[in-house]
């Protein structure tokens, strides 16, 4: 049957194995929550992990459904941390990033790797995002749907693999739709 099914245990084991083999990310099958897609998961996370009056931060430019998840939730403020273009690459201005976090941000939606910037975030960049979000007690939702689509010479780093003690403040979203063109 299409659409209405309970994933078998082998589904969760396969996802966990893929993450470990492809990205070095140790995922326990019981951590996995199946959703109809990354975009609905982002919408749900905004509703579940923020309250009316809270702010949600994104780094722009970014895939427009990130903004919709906040704007359509009601009574949440969208805070845009604008990436700066340096040559051919977008980068985070961490001073501006920190100022944004101070605007009652409770959730940061990260695109890792970044869409549409094509940025495969470097380890020091991800660690600084983690440090600042921990400093301001901000939960991070890391959309990693493009993790398997990086050019040779670049390595995707799942945010949770760098988190250490802060791993409980990260929600990672992945899907097979980009990797295997199943959308």
The alpha carbon torsion through 101, 105, 107, 111 (nearest 10 deg) reads -40
Average pLDDT, integer, range 144-148 = 97
Does pLDDT of 161 surpass 80? Answer: yes
Please state whether the predicted TM-score (pTM) of the whole model is above 0.85.
Answer: yes
pLDDT level of residue 5 (50, 70, 90 thresholds): confident
Does pLDDT of 1 surpass 60? Answer: no
What proportion of the chain, given as a percentage, has pLDDT over 90?
Answer: 89
pLDDT digits (tens, 9 = 90+) for 99-127: 999 999 999 999 999 999 899 999 999 99
pLDDT at position 182 = 86
pLDDT level of residue 153 (50, 70, 90 thresholds): very high
Of the CA atoms within 13 Å of residue 59, those in its CB half-sphere come to: 29
Q: Which residues of 113-136 are buried (b: 16+ CB within 10 A; e: fewer)?
A: bbbebebbbeeebbbbbbebbeeb
Is 173 in contact with 144 (CB distance < 8 Å)?
yes
Average pLDDT, integer, range 33-61 = 96
Is 136 in contact with 102 (CB distance < 8 Å)?
yes
Average confidence score pLDDT of the chain: 95
When comparing pLDDT for 2 and 90, which is higher? 90
Rounded CA-CA distance 69/49 in Å is 12
């Amino acid at each position: 049957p299409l659409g209405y099914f309970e994933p078998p245990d082998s589904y969760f084991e396969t996802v966990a194995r893929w993450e470990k083999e492809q990205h070095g990310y140790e995922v326990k099958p019981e951590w996995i929550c199946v959703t109809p897609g990354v975009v609905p998961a982002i919408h749900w996370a905004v509703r579940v992990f923020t309250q009316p009056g809270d702010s949600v931060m994104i780094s722009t430019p970014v895939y427009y459904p990130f903004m919709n998840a906040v704007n359509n939730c009601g009574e949440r403020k969208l805070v845009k941390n604008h990436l700066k273009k340096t040559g051919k690459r977008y980068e985070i201005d961490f001073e501006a990033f920190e100022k944004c976090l101070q605007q009652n941000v409770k959730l940061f939606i990260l695109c890792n790797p970044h869409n549409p910037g094509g940025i495969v975030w470097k380890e020091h960049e991800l660690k600084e995002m983690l440090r600042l979000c921990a400093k301001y007690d901000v939960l991070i939702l890391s959309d990693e749907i493009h993790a398997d689509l990086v050019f040779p010479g670049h390595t995707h780093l799942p945010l949770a693999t760098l988190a250490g003690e802060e791993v409980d403040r990260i929600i990672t979203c992945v899907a097979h739709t980009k990797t295997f063109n199943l959308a």
